[in-house]
């Protein structure tokens, strides 16, 4: 697994976890059903090559840990350096060397994140 940071034009910033297979990307798919939840991400720790964070929902209260995910520190700092009021979080797989958001039962695995807490 590794992190993906994107700043798409005209859309909220995107933070994603790239999985090796769609089956692995099914992790935490139940979160897609929490339609009334507000989500936040709390950064736990990072170093030159890895990031750990918690994905938190408020209704119902639920915390999922993404631990020691490989990342590019420069990409993370560039992404973090932009001010974000809202952002999107998703599970991604590589298809023909391009990142593609995973679909689960025809739904994109994308959650709207209301807050990114840096610690």
Angstrom CA distances, 98 to 80, 93, 104, 114, stand at 22, 8, 19, 27
Say if CB 59 and CB 37 are below 8 A apart.
yes
Host domain of residue 20: 2-27+36-117
Per-residue pLDDT of the chain (119 residues; tens, 9 = 90+): 999 999 988 889 999 999 999 999 999 999 998 878 999 999 998 888 999 999 999 988 999 999 999 999 999 888 887 766 789 999 999 999 999 999 998 999 999 999 888 76
Per the structure, how many domains does the chain have? 1
pTM for this model (two decimals): 0.91
């Amino acid at each position: 697994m590794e992190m993906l940071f994107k700043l798409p034009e005209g859309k909220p910033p995107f933070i994603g976890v790239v999985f090796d297979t769609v089956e692995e990307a099914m992790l935490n798919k139940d979160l897609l059903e929490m339609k009334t939840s507000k989500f936040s991400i709390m950064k736990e720790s990072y170093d030159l090559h890895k990031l750990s964070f918690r994905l938190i929902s408020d209704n119902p209260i639920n915390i999922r840990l993404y631990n020691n995910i490989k990342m590019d520190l420069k990409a993370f700092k560039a992404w973090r350096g932009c001010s974000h009021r809202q952002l999107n979080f998703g599970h991604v797989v590589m298809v023909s060397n391009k990142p593609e958001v995973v679909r689960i039962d025809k739904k994109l695995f994308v959650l709207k994140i209301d807050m990114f807490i840096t610690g």
